[in-house]
A and B are shown apart, each in its own frame.
Chain A
Amino acid sequence: MKWLGFILLSCVLNSAFAEQQKTVDVRPTKEIKTMNLARIAEQIRNGEIDVGKDYSTNFKTGRFHIIHADKLLIDCNNCHYGKKYKADYQLMGKHKPMPDKMPGRLQRSVCLGCHAEGGIATHLYGRSAEW
C-alpha cells in the first residue's frame, strides 16, 4: 500500500517540477526504476501499452514475454539461468529434472518482488507466512 502512495506522490512531484528537472541527475535509482516499472504496469493494465492478445509464453508473440522482457526490460538472466543455477534457487527444485516443455531454469523468487501481495503487479502470491 505504501508503494502506491509513494508512486502517487512521485507522480505529483514529477509533474509539478517537470520544467526544473533538466539538470537533475536522472541515473535510475532503485526507487525510480520501480516507479518506472509501476507506471508501465499500470499502462499495460489500462491498455495504453498494447501487449497483444496472445495469452501464451511464446517468446515472440505471447504477452508473457512481451510484458516482462520487451516492455519491463527485465533481463533474461534475471529469470533464466543457463546450465548452472543459484544455490538458493528453491528447495529441492534446483535438482528437479526438467520436463522437456520448460527451456531454461527459472529463478522463481524473482517473481515475488512484484507479484506478491502489495506489489505493483498482478497479485499472485499470498501473504508471506509468519516465521
Chain B
Amino acid sequence: MPYNRREFIKTSVALIAAAKMATPLKSIAAVAAKAKHSGILESTIRYVKSTCAHCVNFCGINVKMENDVIRAIYPDPERAPFYNVGICPKGVSGVFNTYNPYRIKKPLKRSNPKKGLDQDPGWVEISWEEAFETITGKLKAIRQDDPRKLIWQHGHGKYLIGDKFPKAFAKAFGTPNLVHRTTTCEAARHVADELTWGYHGFLPDIEHCNLLLNFGGNYFEAEQFARWLDHATTDAKERGMKIVVIEPRLSSTASKADEWIPIRPGKDVVLILGLARLLIKQNTIDEEFLLSTTNATALVAGDETLLKDDNGQLLVWDELTQSAKPFSDNVKPALRGSYLVDGKAYVTAFQHFSNSIEEITPAYVAEEAGVPEKKVFWLAEELAKQVKIGATVVMDGHKLRYRPVAIHTFRGLSAKEFGVQNWRAGLVLQMLLGSIDAVGGINLHSVYKKPQYFDASKAEYPPSRVDLQESVFFPHATHNVAQQVAQTVMDPKHYGLEYIPEMQIFYATNRPFSTSDSQKQFASLKKTYNVVIELVMTETAQMADIVLPDLTYLESWHLSPSRYTPRTKHTAIRQPLTNAYQIEHDAYSILWQLSKRLGILDDYVKNVNKQWKLKKHPLQTGQDYSAEQAVEQIWLEQTKGKDFAYAKEHGFIGKHLSVEKTYLSGVDKKFKGAGKPKMNFYAEQLVHTLANVKQQKKQHSLKMIDLDRYQLALSPLPKKEHGFPTPHREAKAFPFYLITYKRMYRNQSGNTALNPILNALGPDVQENFVLINQKSADQLSIKTGEQVVVETRVGKVQGKAKVIEGIRPDTLAISYHYGQQSLAFPDSAKQGIWINSVLENYSDVVSGMESFNDSKCRLIKV
C-alpha cells in the first residue's frame, strides 16, 4: 500500500497535535516503507463479537477473522464493566476447540456390539438420513411403549444450546428423565440455599467487602464466577480487603490470600460452628437481623418441630406478654431461652443451636479440623472486628445495612457427603453476622422465588424419575441426580423404578468420566441404546451405538447464558464464525429433526415457547426455524424488542442495577418484619421430610434406606457430626485424605486434552500429579517425578508424585480431567491419572450431591 499524500497529511496533523510524542517523521516513513516492502499478501481482517463457552463464565470475546479463518480470540473490552476483563487460556486457544482434526465429522454407527472402554466400537460412517431414521425408529417404539424409558442427559450442552430446548423435547416426548450435571458440580450449595431462603445462588459483594472468608472456592483456577471474581478480588485486595482462604491445598487463590488456613478435608463445618460458638459467647452477633429476618426466634419442641398456631403461623416467645404469639408489630420476640407453653418445654431455635455447639471449643476445632486454637480465636476476632454490627451506609439516598464480611464457597463446602449441611453452616454463620444482603456481605439471587422450597419433601416412592430426584432416596434433590442414573439403570427394581430404561441420549457431556467411582458409570452404558452428540470421541461417545457430530461454540448460534454480578447483568448471544468441517447439524437442529419425524413438532414448539417464556415473540407452529431465527426471537423477548442487528454487532447488551435492586429486593423485602415469612435459620422442613422418609420406608419395606444416615443428613441445624463423612469414619486403614481440584488448562469434556496450545503452556500441563507434602514425602522417601500408587477402597491409580510445601502433610491431592481413556485419542492427550475412577462416592442424601473430597487412601512407592 503506497504511503500516499493523504496518509502524509494525516500523519503530519497527528504529529502536530501530539507534539509531545516527538517521533521523527522519517521513523514513521521508515516503518511504513518496511511494512510495504515486506511482501505480505493482503488479507481481510474483521472482528466479530461473541461469547466463549468453554466453561460457565461465558466471557465476552472478540474474535479476529483473517479471510474467514479464525486467527485469534481476544476479550471483548465492552464486556469489562459487566463481567470479564480478560479471558483465560482456554478461551484464548478456543481456535483449536474448533479446528481440531479429532472432531467427529459425520454420524457414526458401531459395528462391534461389545461395549467397553477397552473395546474398539468399529465405527462405520452413515448418512444423516440413516442416523435420523434409526434413532427415530427407536424413539417411536419407546414412545408407544413407555416414553419414560428415554433418558436425556446433558452437561455442557446446557450452555451450548441451553437446557430449554431439551426440556421442551422431553416434555413433548413424554419423559420426565432429563438429567443435568449439577450434582457433579455444586448442587448441595444450591439446595442449602433453597432450604434456607427459597432459591439459590449468591455472590460476595466484593466492591464493599473488607473481609472475605473463602472456603475452597478457587476462582483463580476454576469456579462459576471466576472471570469476575478474579479481577474484582484482586482490585479489592489492593483497596484493602483481607482474604482468608480455608482449604487443605495451597491453590492459586490461597497463594494470593492474606491468610491460608490449611484445614483438614471435610472438617470445614467444625470450624464454622466453632466460630459461631465464639461469636455467640462474645455476643458479637446481629441480634436485630436474627430477630427481624430469621426464624431463630421460633420455638423448638422436643421432637424438633416448630411450634405453630392453628393457622400454621410460627409462634415466638413474646417478652412483653410472657406468652407464645405469632410475630407481629406489638411483639418483642425472645432470641434466647427455654419456655413452657401449655405445659410443654420449648427452646428458641437460637438457643437450641447455641446449646448444640457448646462442645465445639477452639481446642476441639484444633483437634478435629487441624486448625490451631490461636487461629480459631484470631478468625473469630477478625470477623467480629470487621463486620461492624449495627452500621449503616447511605447509597443513592438509601440507608442500607453495612456488614463488610462475606463467606464464600463453591465446591469447597459442597462437593461432599454433607455438602448441604456444610453450606447451611456457612449461611447460619452469616445470619449471626447479619451480613446477608448487606452492603459488603453476600448478595442473594432472587430471594424466595420458589416458596415451595420451604415445604417438606414428599419423599416419593416409587420414584417417577430414573435419577430418583426428590424421591425417598434424595428427598430434596431439586437439581437432578446425575450420577444416580447409571446405578438405577443397573438395577431398576432395587430402587422401585416401575420401568426399565432403554435408551439414553447424551448431549455434550462426558458425565461417566467425570463422576466419582466412575467405572460403575460405564458398566451401565452397556445396558441401554446410546446416542451421543459430541465434538470428539470422548469416553462416553465410545460407549455409544450412534454418535452424532456437533458444532462448537464458534460455529453455532445461541442466546448465551450470562453471569451477573451484584451490580450488573447482561443478555448475550453467540454467533458462528465458521463451520470448519461443514457439519450439517448441531443439537438444535437435531432436536428439530427428531421432533418433526416423531410427529411432535407442534408440541415441541409450544413447549419451547413455554420454556423460554416467549410471550411477545413466540415461535409459530407450522414453520421451521433455523437456530439463528430462534435466537432472534429469544433475544427480542429478553431485551424487550432490542434490534437483533445490535446483538450481532455488539454481542450483548448490559445493564447496571440500581441500589434498590441489589440491596433492597432480597431478604429485607421478603423476610424482614412482622407478617412475613422468615429466613430459615432452623430448617424445619427437614424434620418433616425425615418423618416422610420414615413413613415410606415402613410402608414399602425399604431395606436399603439406612435411617441413621438420613437422620443425620436431614438435621434442621448443622452439627459437628457433619464433619465426618463415611470414608473418614470407616476407612481407618487408609492414612491419607484424598482431595481433588481443577486446573486452569482442562475441562472434563475431553476436547481440551486435544488442544495443542493448552498442552504447550509449560512442561507441567500435559499431565497431572499426586501432590504430597515435603515432610510426608521425606518420611516415605518419595521424590518429585517418581511413580507412586494411590489406593482407595474403590481401586488403585498410578502416577507421578510432585512434592510440594503447599498441602497438608496428611492429605494428597490429584486434579481431575486427566488420564483420558478414549481409544481414539493420541497418547499425548491421555497422560496423567484418572482420579475419578477411584474416588469414593457417598452422595449427600439431602441433595443428591456427589462427594468428591471425602475419600481416604494409602500411598505406595512403586
Asked whether any CB of chain A lies closer than 8 Å to the CB of B763, the reply is: yes
Inter-chain contacts of B762 with A (CB < 8 A)? 97
Interface class of chain A by DSSP: loop
Given the complex of chains A and B, what is the CA–CA distance between A85 and B763 in angstroms?
18
Which residues of B756-771 are within 8 A (CB) of A? 762-764
Q: Total A-B pairs in contact (CB under 8 Å)?
A: 3
When C-beta atoms are compared, the residue in chain A nearest to B764 turns out to be A97
Interface mask (A70-95 → B, CB under 8 Å = 1, otherwise 0): 00000000000000000000000000
A92: shortest Cβ distance to chain B, in Å? 13
Contacts of B764 in A (CB 8 A): 97
Taken together as a complex, chains A and B put the C-alpha atoms of A97 and B763 apart, in Å, by 7
Closest A-chain residue to B763, C-beta based?
Answer: A97
Instruction: Kindly report which residue of chain A lies nearest to residue B762, judged by CB atoms.
Output: A97
Q: Chain B 480-522, CB within 8 Å of chain A: the 1/0 string?
A: 0000000000000000000000000000000000000000000
Name the residue of chain B whose CB is nearest to the CB of A100.
B763
Count of chain A residues with a beta carbon within 8 Å of a chain B beta carbon: 1
CB-CB under 8 A from A97, the residues of chain B are 762-764
* Bound complex: CA A31 to CA B763 (Å): 44
Interface string of B740-776 (1 = CB under 8 A from A): 0000000000000000000000111000000000000
Secondary structure call for the B interface: loop
Near A by CB (< 8 A), chain B positions 763-806 give 763-764
Minimum distance in angstroms from A42 CB to a CB of chain B? 40
Shortest CB–CB separation between residue A17 and chain B, in angstroms? 57
Least Cβ–Cβ distance between A99 and chain B, in angstroms: 10
Minimal Cβ-Cβ distance residue in B for A97: B763
**Bound-state Cα–Cα, A97 to B764, Å:** 9
Shortest CB-to-CB span from B757 to chain A, Å, is 15
Give 1 or 0 for each of A95-115: 1 = CB within 8 Å of chain B CB. 001000000000000000000
What is the CA–CA distance of A82 and B511 in the complex, to the nearest angstrom?
Answer: 45
User: How far is the CB of B125 from the nearest CB of chain A, in Å?
Assistant: 39
CB distance from A93 to the nearest CB of B (A): 14
Q: How far is the CB of A36 from chain B (nearest CB, A)?
A: 41
Q: How far does the Cβ of A9 sit from chain B's closest Cβ, in whole Å?
A: 48
Closest to A99 in B: B763
Assembled-state Cα–Cα distance A39/B542 (Å): 71
- Separation of A97 and B762 alpha carbons in the complex (Å): 7
Chain A neighbourhood of B763, CB < 8 A: 97
Q: How far is the CB of A103 from chain B (nearest CB, A)?
A: 15
> In whole angstroms, how far apart are the Cα atoms of A52 and B764 in the complex?
41
CA distance A53 to B763 in the complex (A): 36
For B542-560 the 0/1 string (1 means CB < 8 A from A) is 0000000000000000000
**Whole-angstrom CA separation of A97 from B761 in the bound complex:** 10
Cα distance A97–B760 when bound, in Å?
A: 11
Minimal Cβ-Cβ distance residue in B for A98: B763
Distance (whole angstroms) from the CB of A104 to the closest CB of chain B: 16
Report Cα–Cα, A6/B367, bound state, in Å: 70
- Shortest C-beta distance, B758 to chain A (Å), equals 15
- Chain B min CB distance to A96 (Å): 10
CB distance from A79 to the nearest CB of B (A): 22
- Bound complex: CA A76 to CA B755 (Å): 39
Q: How far is the CB of A85 from chain B (nearest CB, A)?
A: 15
* Bound CA span A88–B764, Å: 23
User: Shortest Cβ distance from B402 into chain A, in angstroms?
Assistant: 42
- How near does chain B come to A28, taking the closest CB pair, in angstroms? 40
CB distance from A80 to the nearest CB of B (A): 19
Instruction: Give the complex CA separation of A97 and B766 in angstroms.
Output: 14
What is the CB-to-nearest-CB distance from A94 to chain B, in angstroms, rounded to a whole number?
14
CB distance from A106 to the nearest CB of B (A): 18
- Least CB distance, A119 to chain B, in whole angstroms: 34
CA distance A18 to B764 in the complex (A): 60
A116 to B203 alpha-carbon distance, docked (Å): 55
Q: How far is the CA of A68 from the CA of B795 in the complex (A)?
A: 56
Contact mask for chain B residues 568-607; partner A; CB cutoff 8 A; 1 contact, 0 none: 0000000000000000000000000000000000000000
Min CB distance, A23 to chain B, in Å? Answer: 54
CB A39 to nearest CB in B, in angstroms, measures: 43
Instruction: Report the minimal beta-carbon distance from B803 to chain A, rounded to whole angstroms.
Output: 14
A–B Cβ pairs within 8 angstroms, 3 of them: A97-B762, A97-B763, A97-B764
Binding site for A on B (CB under 8 A): 762-764
Question: Closest 3 interchain pairs by CB?
Answer: A97-B763, A97-B762, A97-B764
